Amino acid sequence: MGMKRNVWGVAQKRMQVAFLGSCAMAALVAGATLAQAEPHMEGEVAVEFAGNHVKQGDAKQNDINPTVELASAWVITKAWSVQGGWTLESVYEGDDDFYFRSLALSTDELYLQYETGMFRLFGGKANPTFGRAWDIAPGVYGTGLAEDYEIGEGYIAVGLAVTLEGAMGKHILTGTAFRLDRSIMSETAFTKGGSNTLADGGLSNTRGFKSFSVTLDSENVFGLDGLNSHLGYQKQAIGDADVGPAADDQTGYVAGLSYGMDLSAAIKMEVMAEYADFSNFEGVRDSEANYITVGAGFAYQGYNLALAYTQKDHDDVDSSLMSVSVGTEIWNEWALDVGYSLGKEDGVEDVHSIGFTLAKAFEFSSAAE
């Protein structure tokens, strides 16, 4: 067994070197064909106010807090840009009621990107791709349980995306190698949080790029308008500080579908389903977990209804989250949604949540008209 592990380790290192080398070579080749454009800034600011009343047994908690997300791009040429993302949100983790409390500003992404034709290369602080239910499950609480397996922000990454488009749809194959960010970008402002260190351990907290994800996103699959799919695989290495008999690399795969259609001239419907499965979950050897999320959203004359359900099985402990919400645009593109969720877990009292979101997005650009 020891010899097999050594051979696999050497093979992994060779694949990583080959992947990084191919990215560098593609960038050099692409640099020779740069098309010029007027440098400018563009992006979007998403503002959301969310309130929740959460009850579990006799315990209750209320909160109202803002979340402000800035996604921006400094376009240098038609091909080269610097992509950035920042979030201001509450990081309070106590049991008391909290209102506009413990707000922290974090850097989600900050990376250099080259994109031309069918190729996109990127490197810096970037989000690895894996799964979509944590983003697209509908409603106020629809994404709550699926967010467990979002790789999310906080990684130094290099990646290559290849886009193919034809009669059978549009397909984007993305490969990303990554590790946990331990730079100053892992700190937060306003409410201070220290930067990550190697001694903290945790998945992907390694010296080199030992973790990776590969995903295939398809739109209008088989030429059917509105049918989209997502396939993905990930391997997250245990942290350099976590080596031991109870620790092992987490692996996982995900498969999902979504479909949007008009039920009538006035009613639109979008449905989605996603399944994710993990081995050595959270870096614990022989721990298994799987998730299945289904959701449906309906829109009628400016009003919307959303239903979502996620089932989780983690080492034979079942948990679930069911939610329903309704919403509408109330004024000047401000959207108000009100929702209810019921969370269940074996051996734990049910969690009831009632809440709202009030949200609007603002786009900006300094490009000449």
CB-CB neighbours of 228 under 10 Å: 20
Instruction: Tell me how crowded residue 114 is: count the other CB atoms within 10 A of its CB.
Output: 20
302 has a pLDDT exceeding 80:
yes
Mean pLDDT of 261-282: 97
Q: How confident is the model at residue 178 (pLDDT cuts 50, 70, 90)?
A: very high
What proportion of the chain, given as a percentage, has pLDDT over 90?
85
Mean pLDDT on 328-348: 96
* Residue 321: pLDDT over 50: yes
pLDDT of residue 243: 83
pLDDT band at 299 (very low <50, low <70, confident <90, very high): very high
Question: CA separation (Å) from 347 to 89, 284, 312, 318, 319?
Answer: 32, 22, 14, 9, 10
Task: Write out pLDDT tens, residues 181-215.
Answer: 999 999 999 998 778 999 999 999 999 999 999 99
Give the model's confidence band at 1: pLDDT under 50 very low, under 70 low, under 90 confident, else very high: very low
Q: How confident is the model at residue 153 (pLDDT cuts 50, 70, 90)?
A: confident
pLDDT interval class at 369 (50, 70, 90): confident
pTM: 0.87
Distance CA 90, CA 176 (A): 29
Region 137-154 average pLDDT:
95
User: Above pLDDT 70, what percent of the chain?
Assistant: 90
Q: Which two tokens stand for residue 253?
A: 């795969």
User: Which SS3 state, helix, strand or coil, does residue 287 take?
Assistant: coil
- Evaluate if residue 263 carries a pLDDT over 60: yes
- Give the pLDDT confidence of 212-240 residue by residue, as tens digits: 999 999 999 998 999 999 999 999 999 99
Exposure class string for 30-67: b at 16+ Cβ within 10 A, else e:
beeeeeeeeeeeebeeebbbbebebeeeeeeeebbbeb
CA 252 from chain center: how many Å?
A: 15
Domain locations along the chain: 2-365
Q: How high is the pLDDT of residue 368?
A: 79
Bigger pLDDT: 19 or 368?
368
Residue 260's Cβ-count burial label (10 Å; 0-12, 13-18, 19+) is: middle
Check pLDDT > 60 for residue 168. Answer: yes
Average pLDDT, the chain: 91
pLDDT tens-digit map of 10-47 = 334 444 444 444 444 444 444 444 445 689 999 999 99
Name the CATH superfamily housing domain 2-365.
Porin (2.40.160.10)
pLDDT digits (tens, 9 = 90+) for 84-125: 999 999 999 999 999 999 999 999 999 999 999 999 999 999
